[in-house]
Structures are given as C-alpha cells and as structure tokens.
Amino acid sequence: MAKVKQVGLLAAGCQPWNKDVCAASGDRFAYCATLAIYIYQLDQQYNEFKLRSIMSEHKKTITAISWCPDNPDLFASASADNLLIIWNVAEKKAVARLDNTKGVPVSVSWCWNSADGLAFVSQRGPLYIWAYRGSDPGVTVHKEAHSFLSDICLFRWHPTKKGKLVFGHTDGSLSIFQPGSKSQKHVLRPESLEGTDEEDPVSALEWDLLSTDYLLVSNLHNGIRLVDSEALACITSFCFPSAAASVQCLAWVPSAPGMFITGDSQVGVLRIWNVSRSTPLDSFKLKKTGFHALHVLNSPPAKKAQSSCSPSKSQHTSSTSEAVPPPTLSQNRSFSLPPGHAVCCFMDGGVGLYDMGAKKWDFLRDLGHVETIFDCKFKPDDPNLLATASFDGTIKIWDTNTLTAVSTSPGNEGVVYSLSWAPGDLNCIAGATSRNGAFIWDVRKGKIITRFNEHGKNGIFCISWSHKDSKRIATCSGDGFCIVRTIDGKILHKYKHPAAVFGCDWSQNNKDMIATGCEDKNVRVYYLATSSDQPLKVFTGHLAKVFHVRWSPLREGILCSGSDDGTVRI
C-alpha cells in the first residue's frame, strides 16, 4: 500500500493572549500558537526562513517562552497547566521539565550570567528560580521579589548587570531589584496615575542594552517612557502623532544604538524612534490588524558582509548619551533605516519577518488559526481552495498551491465546529457554531449574510449544504435534532433523535436522502420526499457514538460511518 506523504503544512498563527509569545536567537525565531511552538530557521542556501520544528508537549495554553542568552540551542516555555519545559532546538526534544509550579507562570526568563537558572513568576509572585542542572537542581525563591501589591505583567533581567531585575505591574508601576541595593517596589507609575486607583498595565519593558540603569517602559494608555532605574526619574516621555494610538509592544534595535521600534495595538503600524527625539522618526502601516508582539533579530540574516563597525566609544556610553544627532528629516523623509529584521506577530495570528532596512517583508504568513481546527473541506469546483473551521471562531480559506490564507470570516463566532461549501459557483460557506447557531458567510462580500437559530444555544456539530438542491441546508445538534431548512430559513423537516446528533450528509445521488450519526451508536437514513419523521433505515453495529457519516461519491447507496469505537464501517 502506498504511504501517505505530507506535501504541505498550514502552520498555526501566533496566539493573541499572552505577552512573551515570540522570541529569537541568532538565525532562529519562534512563536507560540495555543498548544504548540513553531521554530523557524534561516536556510543559508536559499537565504530564507523555513519552519524547522514544531514543539508540542504542553496540554494547556502556552503562557510564555524565553530563549537562553548563552546557548542558542536552548529555550524555555511555560503553560497554564503549571508546567515549565526546557527544549533543545537542535535535537528537537525536551531536556528538562518542572511540574507543579505554584501558580501559572505569566513570564519566564533565563537568569543572565547563569545559564543553568530559569526564573518564572505567577501573577502576584514570588519570583522562583529553577536550577535545572548542576550539582544541586531545585527551585528557590528570590529573597526580595515577593509580596507585590499589584499583579505582574512581565519581568526582565538586566542583560549585563548581574542580578538586576525589573517587574512591570497591572497598576502601571515598576518594581526594581538589584543585589546590594534597597529594593524599590511599585515605583515610577505614569504621572497621570499618581494618587489614583486606576489600572494602566505595563505592556512592554526592555532594558537599554548600553546602560546599567535606563529602561524603556510602555503603558497601555500612557504611552512610552525612558526611565532611570537608579534616580527613579522619567528622562523622556515619547509623544504619538494621535491620541488614538497606543503601544502594544516595543524592542530595541541592537544594530543602531539609541533606536527602538514599537507596534501599535489597534492597527499594524510599526514606528521607528530614537531616544533623543520625543516623536517617531518614521512609521509604516504593515497590516490592518494591530500588533501583538515584536522581536528584533540581532544579526541581520542577509548581507552579513556589510555589518557596520561600531566605534569603540560605545562601550562606555548609554543609548541616550550618543553625541551623534538623529538624521534630520527632509520633506521626503529620506533617511536610512537601521539594518535589522523584526519578527512581527499580529492580533489576527499573522506572523512575519520585516526587513527594516529594505522596508519589505522577507516572510509573511498573513493569517493563521490560533486554535484547534475542527473541520476542513475543499471547494467543490476549485480543488486549490481549502476551507478550515476553528475553535478560534473563524473560517479561513487557503490556497493549497502557495499554502497561504486568502480570506477569513469576520470572526467572533465562538467555536466553529463544522463548515460546508455552497454548491456550484455561489462562493458561500455555511458554518456551525458551539453557541451562536449557524451562519452563511458570503466570501466575495466578506460578510455574514444569514443566520439560523433553530437549535437555540445548543451546539451545532455538523452542517451540510445539499449539492443536488442548493436551497437546502441541514444541521445536527446536541439537542437531538437534525433540522433541514431552506437557505431563507423555512423549516422543511425536524428529525428527532434519542440523543445528540454529531454528523449528517446528503446523498450524492438522491437529492431527498440524508444520513445522520448519533450518540446512541446508530446511523439513520431519512427520505425527505415523505412526510414521515421516522428513518427509512437504522444501521446498528458501532460500539460507541457515531461521529461522521459520508455517502460515496462514486457508488450509489454506499455509506460509511466513523465512530468513537475506533472503527469505520461501510
């Protein structure tokens, strides 16, 4: 028997829920879907990034990842089932696991200058340090980083000053710790929040790579500030062109001292800044949907020969003490962007690698499901188009030649369990959801044109559009009914089953015949041309609930069924 060979992969998109879900090191970058981590690596021969591996050990939502600063082959991940895993990317395997972290880790980070220590923290702390190797493996508690008054959004170790550490909180404040100094808890809240109970979560936090004391902090509503962690003072508040813009993420550009980039939360605008100016140098609209995460790759993948030799003076300066003024902007805003590649993750699951110097995408996966896919069907009159229905509330259509998504339904449907293409060239898809009934999505118009709510709030597990009679759509639900109606909503038949109905399929040869699969282990065939609501035939034999039924497209009267008993019967 010929083996089935994988010819393509439609990777999941980046999840939009947690902060630290994108990381990079050397010629690799990674991002998290809900339950899996996708790792891309630069293919030197073709000078392009390719999917190298998918890590999927976590059973619940991944909450954070962090790449090891000393060893480019190691990174760590945390998940909502209180689990930490350290992975070896080169060997594609987990090398250490820590179960039962007390509380869900919201942020993880390697202890700089100690390759064997991984720090993690849940919402209120304390900060735990897991020594996973060495003579004395185990978990210790940071002596001072505990008893916080506000939840922790994220934390960052200082990359060069050993043991220095900052936390960002949901009330907008920072907590700073360093060995030999008094700890500073809940300081540097944005001025407008002082003396109020208002929350303004820290949305991004990064130490200045060239200073021991400066760090960039952004708050969701109060924008970006450069602050001095020693003097506990704000050095610069950065101004946005419009009050509507808010920052979702930021990153320093390692190849250009004093430069950083930010991603807006509402629209996919990438802004380029220099610390010596309070307004952006430039901005580009890269996508309609807002940013979720940003990470700048240290080494520009291409054109490695042109790396600029930085003057030795920079070893003793910080990003803000640069003597060189930023480029003055002429009317046509023609200045050279720093060389560097930004890994960009967006709220719709899109992931891309943007070449800032060349102002172009090196790689862009525009859309991707961020949750489990429940159903997929090829378009009847175009086998190059594949539609998928997902737990994330969307249906997406993919071009199987290019393996890219070409359109997505508006979303927010709860869970989409099933889909069915309209026959012929109608270019519509019917979808069935967990709580919001069924709908018809007009792909060309890009909107939902009809909704069906006959099953109430019960989950609809399967939807099937008749291909012999394009006016009829059948749905089956947890309420025990298979309902056949016209596309304008007139109910033609309601077939009552003794338990939940999971599958239904129209006969390919007889427009009045439909089969169903039920939780009571039986398959039923109904004939719509009679007024009877009793099945024409009942097939028994499965030992567990029947999930799917399908008529053969080639031989009349041949039906197959799949069941939780692990068998397919014909």
- Say if residues 361 and 353 touch (Cβ distance below 8 Å): yes
Question: Is 45 part of a structural domain of the chain?
Answer: yes
Q: Phi and psi at residue 18, in whole multiples of 5°?
A: -105, 160
Residue whose pair of structure tokens reads 């930004």 in the numeric block: 342
Which pairing describes strands 460-465 and 472-477: parallel, antiparallel, or unpaired? antiparallel
Among 459, 465, 493, smallest CA distance to 478 is for: 459
pLDDT score for 329: 42
Whole-angstrom Cα distance, residue 497 to residue 477?
Answer: 10
Question: Is 213 part of a structural domain of the chain?
Answer: no
Among 344, 370, 242, smallest CA distance to 287 is for: 344
- Say if residues 481 and 526 touch (Cβ distance below 8 Å): no
pLDDT score for 441: 94
Residue 565, CB half-sphere, CA atoms under 13 Å: how many?
A: 15
Long-range contacts, 239-243 (Cβ 8 Å, 24+): 239/278, 239/279, 240/280, 241/279, 241/280, 241/283
Question: For the purposes of burial, counting CB atoms within 10 Å of the CB of 498, is it exposed (0-12), middle (13-18) or buried (19 or more)?
Answer: exposed
Element (H, E) at 39: strand 37-43
Which range of residues forms the domain containing residue 140? 11-146
Whole-angstrom Cα distance, residue 350 to residue 340?
Answer: 20
Whole-angstrom Cα distance, residue 418 to residue 489?
Answer: 19
Question: Is 523 part of a structural domain of the chain?
Answer: yes
Among 108, 68, 106, smallest CA distance to 89 is for: 68
Distance of CA 509 to the CA centre of its chain: 42
pLDDT score for 270: 93
Look up residue 545 and give its two tokens.
Answer: 């609930």
Whole-angstrom Cα distance, residue 527 to residue 111?
Answer: 68
Question: Is 331 part of a structural domain of the chain?
Answer: no
Three-class SS of residue 313?
helix
Whole-angstrom Cα distance, residue 16 to residue 62?
Answer: 11
Whole-angstrom Cα distance, residue 501 to residue 88?
Answer: 45
Whole-angstrom Cα distance, residue 373 to residue 82?
Answer: 25
Question: Is 486 part of a structural domain of the chain?
Answer: yes
Secondary structure E strands in 422-506:
428-433, 438-442, 447-452, 460-465, 472-477, 481-486, 491-496, 501-506
Q: What is the CATH number of the domain that holds 136?
A: 2.130.10.10
347, amino acid identity? M
What is the chain's pLDDT, residue by residue, as a tens digit (570 residues)? 678 888 778 888 899 889 899 998 888 999 999 999 999 998 888 888 888 999 989 999 999 999 988 888 999 999 999 999 999 999 999 999 998 888 899 999 998 655 568 899 988 878 999 988 766 668 888 888 888 888 999 999 988 888 899 999 998 999 999 888 888 988 988 877 777 778 888 999 999 988 889 999 998 888 899 999 999 999 999 988 777 788 899 999 988 889 999 999 889 999 999 999 999 998 989 998 899 999 998 665 554 333 333 333 333 333 333 333 444 444 444 456 677 889 999 988 899 999 888 888 888 887 788 888 899 999 998 989 999 999 888 999 999 888 888 888 887 788 999 999 999 888 999 999 998 999 999 999 988 999 999 999 999 999 999 989 999 999 999 999 999 999 989 999 999 999 999 999 999 999 999 999 999 999 999 999 998 889 999 999 999 999 999 999 999 889 999 999 999 999
Whole-angstrom Cα distance, residue 144 to residue 137?
Answer: 21
Whole-angstrom Cα distance, residue 182 to residue 70?
Answer: 29
- Say if residues 13 and 349 touch (Cβ distance below 8 Å): yes
Cα–Cα distances in Å, from 515 out to 187, 462, 524, 558?
Answer: 66, 12, 6, 11
Residue 437 pairs in a beta bridge with none
Contacts of 315 (CB under 8 A, 6+ apart): none
pLDDT score for 392: 86
Whole-angstrom Cα distance, residue 25 to residue 208?
Answer: 18
Question: Is 86 part of a structural domain of the chain?
Answer: yes
- Name the domain boundary from 98, 115, 146: 146
Look up residue 505 and give its two tokens.
Answer: 């399929």
- Name the domain boundary from 96, 115, 146: 146
Neighbours of 34 (CB within 10 A): 23
Residue 355 pairs in a beta bridge with 341, 360
- Name the domain boundary from 146, 174, 209: 146
Look up residue 477 and give its two tokens.
Answer: 């639900």
Question: Is 220 part of a structural domain of the chain?
Answer: no
Into how many domains does the chain fold? 2
